[in-house]
Amino acid sequence: MTDTHAAATAAVDAAAALVGAAARHLAENATENGRISVSKLDQHQVVAYDLAHAAAAVAGSRVMLSYAQHGDFEAKLSYTYIADVFADIVSRLVGREAEWGVDPADLASAHDFVAAHRDPAFLESLADELPRHGTGPAHLDDEFDMVRDTFHRFAEDKIRPVAEHIHRTNADIPDDIINGMAEIGSFGLSVPEEYGGFAAGGESDYLAMCVATEELSWGSLGAGGALITRPEILTRAIVKGGTEEQKHGWLPQIASGERIVGVMVTEPDYGSDVAGVKVTATPVDGGYVINGVKTWCTFAGRADTLMVLARTDSDRSLGHRGLSVLVVDKPPAPGHHFAFDDGRDGKMEGRAIDTLGYRGMHSFEVAFDNWFVPAENLIGMDSGLGKGFYLQMEGFENGRLQTAARAVGLMQAAFEAGLGYAQDRKVFGRPIFDYQLSKVKLAKMAALICAGRQFSYEVARMMARGEGALEASMVKAYVCRAAEWVTREALQLHGGMGYAEEFPVSRYFVDARVLSIFEGADETLCLRVIARRLTEQMLSA
C-alpha cells in the first residue's frame, strides 16, 4: 500500500467513524421504548437528511478505495472523489456540531490528504488526462464490454437521432425504438431463463442491467434509459410472488416485448407514503373492480399491461397490509389522452401530465371507474392478498439501483458534451478547457461519474447476494443529486449556448432534475429509509 493510499484509507476511516458517532447520537435522540420512533426522528430531520447523504458518500468512498488499486489514473479519480466527500461532510457539519453530537477535531488527521487532492494544481493535472481516459475504465469482465457495446451502438444509432425531437415536441417514443429494444433483449434482462429471459440468477444479471441502463440513458433518459425500468419492476414482483401459471403466462411476453408495461403506485394524495393508498380493488364475481385515481403513471398510455397497487381489504387500519398488486390489461394508446371501457360499464381514462423534461414516455394521471380485472390477474392470487407492498418493493429496490445507473449514463453524456465544447470553444483567445476553473470542474465531474458507476456496480453485486437494500437507497440518493450538479456545470461550460435548445446539454439538465424525485424522493429515502435504518443498526449493535 502506498503512503497516499494509506492516507486515503485513513481519511475514509475517519469520516466513517464520525458518521457512525453521529448515527449513534441521532439514535439516542430518536429512541422510545427501545425502538426508533419515527416522530422523534422527524424532530431531527435536518441532521438525519445530511447524515444519510454523508453515509452514502462514505459508502461510495469505500468502493473507490478498491477502484484506486487498478492504476494511477483510477487512483487520481478515487482520491479526488474521497477528498470532495470529506469537504462535503465538513460543510454539512460546521455550525451543527452539537446536533450531530461529534467533535470536528476527529477529522483533523485527514487534512493533509484532503488538501493535496483538492489542490487546484492536482485537479488540473487530472483534467489534462480526461481527453484520453474520460471518466475511467469500468473494470468489468469482457462479457459486460459486449453488453456495453451492444446497447451503446443502439443508443447511438436509434435513440440519439430522435432524442431532441421527442424532447422538444413532447412526442411519443417511436415504435422502432421499442421494437429495437425488444430485439436486443432489453426487456428480458431480469426475466429468468426458464421463462424466456436472460437472467441466470447470478450477479451478472444485476451488472448487465446497470451497464445496459447506463448506455440507454446516455442516449436519452426519457426515450431510452427508462424504458426497461417498468418491466423490471413488474418482473421482479411476478418472480417473487406470482404463481407458476402467472410466471409462464406473463414473463415470456414481457421478455419478448409483446407486453409493454406501465406501473401505477402513486396517487394524488399519496406518493412515497404508500401505506395510505386509497385506490380500491373490490371483490366481485370472477375478479375485482378498481376505483380511484393513480398519478405519475409513466408510459401508461403506450403500455398494454399495467401493474396496479390497490387496496383489496376495505379495513384502512391495515395500512400497507391491505394492499395487493394486480396486472391490468388495456389497449395501447398513442398521444396524451386515452379513454377505454371494459365492456362491463367499467371505465379507464388517462391524461398526460406535462413535465420540464423526461419526455417521450409521458406520465399520466389515470382514473378508474369500476374497471374489471379477472381474479387470476392478482399476483399470487389468494396467497398474494395483502402482500402488494412487499411485492412492489421487490421491484422498487432494484429500480433505485437502476435509477442510479440512469443517472450515471446521463452524467456521462453531459460530461462528454461539456468536455467537447470546452476543447472546441475559444474565449479570450484560449479554449475554455485551458482555464483552471474549467479543468477543476471537469475533474470533479469525472470523479463523481466514476464513483457513481463503481458504487452502482458494487450494489449490484450485493443485491445478487440478497443484500444491499439499504445501499440501493444510498446510491440512488447520492448519485441522483450528483447528476444535478454535473449536468448544471456541463451546461455552464457551454455558456449561452447551453441555455439554447440547439445543444442537447439543455435537455440533460432538465432531465436530471427528475432523478431525485422518482423511484423514491430524495427526502423520503434519506429520512424514512437511510437515516432510519442507520439508527436502527446502532440500536442493534
Write down the catalytic residue from 365, 519, 523, 536: 519
CA distances from 106 to 16, 18, 19, 20, 97 (A): 11, 7, 11, 12, 12
- The CA distance from 97 to 116, in Å, is 25
- The CA distance from 14 to 472, in Å, is 23
Exposed, middle or buried by CB within 10 Å (0-12, 13-18, 19+), for 244?
exposed
Q: Which amino acid is at 312?
A: T
Angle at 230 between CA 193 and CA 403, to 5 degrees: 100
Q: Which amino acid is at 393?
A: M
Q: Please state whether beta strands 347-353 and 35-36 pair in parallel, antiparallel, or not at all (unpaired).
A: unpaired
Quote the distance between the C-alpha of residue 167 and its chain's center. 21
DSSP string, 367-407: EEEEEEEEGGGBTTGGGGTT-HHHHHHHHHHHHHHHHHHHH
Nearest to 152 by CA among 103, 220, 105: 220
Quick check: is 519 catalytic? yes
- The CA distance from 140 to 151, in Å, is 16
Q: Which residues are catalytic?
A: 519
